[in-house]
Amino acid sequence: MTVTRPWASVVIPIKDERDNLMPLTEQLVKVLDAREESRSAPFELIFIDDGSSDGSSEVLDSLVARYRTVKVFHFDRNYGQSAAFDAGFKRSTGELVMTIDGDLQNDPADIATLLPHIKTFDLVCGWRKDRHDNLTRKISSRIANSVRSAVTGDRVHDTGCSLKLFRRAVVEKMQLFEGMHRFFPALALMHGFTVTEVPVRHYPRTRGTSKYGVGNRLFKGLYDLVAVRWMQHRCLRYQYRTAATTSSPSPSAPTRL
């Protein structure tokens, strides 16, 4: 019996999202079922339950029983969003890999907006141009994005938007630790992949609560920024050295970050 590889894996890290899980799954299944690609290959939804304590685990188990496309991995404690993305990537088998928040602030229908661009680019990022957040978060996010873009050179407006679409090769190269999921574009560019961003919708949260903390995020964000810059530096040095040993007589410098 031959098993057809899924055309898409959707990776959804969650922490305490009990009331969002059922409607999110219904919307994702509806959007993906309607795609032409689903006629010839399956898709999979991979939830990474990161030590939830609000009953999310039981809801996820009931979704596994109801939908054959749903896979769930439970962590015994909270390891953080990047670790959850990493676990989801490693368990995904799709040709394409999508990521989305589990709180219904992203619109699953926007997957249709991202998909056409994956023919041209290796990573397609959602851009929450019209964000539904309070002023403090809007301003802190604008500053954080400007600093990050200037330091890493990724030229992306909104790396925090979880709605993203990756070619399989990109997720296989990702090394995720601490808060690295907020640097997907810089990490992809560092490995020579192409990146674009497209505007997507963003809705206010209606169920459950945000786990976001400005102070905590600021401190960790600075640490992550230094770590990514160091990785970029190492990667460039490696590329220069490889070029120097493989091409002669005069090695050309790498042209892409």
Ligand X SMILES: Nc1nc2c(ncn2[C@@H]2O[C@H](COP(=O)(O)OP(=O)(O)O[C@H]3O[C@H](CO)[C@@H](O)[C@H](O)[C@@H]3O)[C@@H](O)[C@H]2O)c(=O)[nH]1
Distance CA 5, CA 170 (A): 17
Is cis: bond before 116, omega within 30 of 0? no
Of 37-45, 63-71, 99-107, 187-195, which segment contacts ligand X by CB under 6 A? 99-107
Task: Name all contacts of 141-145 with Cβ < 8 Å and 24+ positions apart.
Answer: 144/217, 144/218, 144/221
Query: Residues 123, 29, 17, 83: is their CA dihedral positive or negative?
Result: negative
Strands 96-99 and 164-167: antiparallel
Which string of x and - marks every residue 188-227 that binds ligand X (by CB under 6 A)? Answer: ----------------------xxx---------------
CB of 15 to ligand X, least distance (A): 4
- Number of amino acids touching ligand X (CB under 6 A): 21
Distance CA 255, CA 110 (A): 33
Considering only residues 5 to 44 of the shown chain, the ones binding ligand X according to CB under 6 A are 13-15, 17
Residue 162 in the binding site for ligand X (CB under 6 A): yes
CB of 66 to ligand X, least distance (A): 20
Q: 3-state class of 149 per DSSP? A: helix
Of 100-108, 115-123, 149-157, 227-235, which segment contacts ligand X by CB under 6 A? 100-108
Residue 84 in the binding site for ligand X (CB under 6 A): yes
Residue 180 in the binding site for ligand X (CB under 6 A): no
Distance CA 212, CA 120 (A): 33
Residue 80 in the binding site for ligand X (CB under 6 A): yes
Q: 3-state class of 52 per DSSP? A: coil
Which string of x and - marks every residue 108-147 that binds ligand X (by CB under 6 A)? Answer: ---------------------------------x------
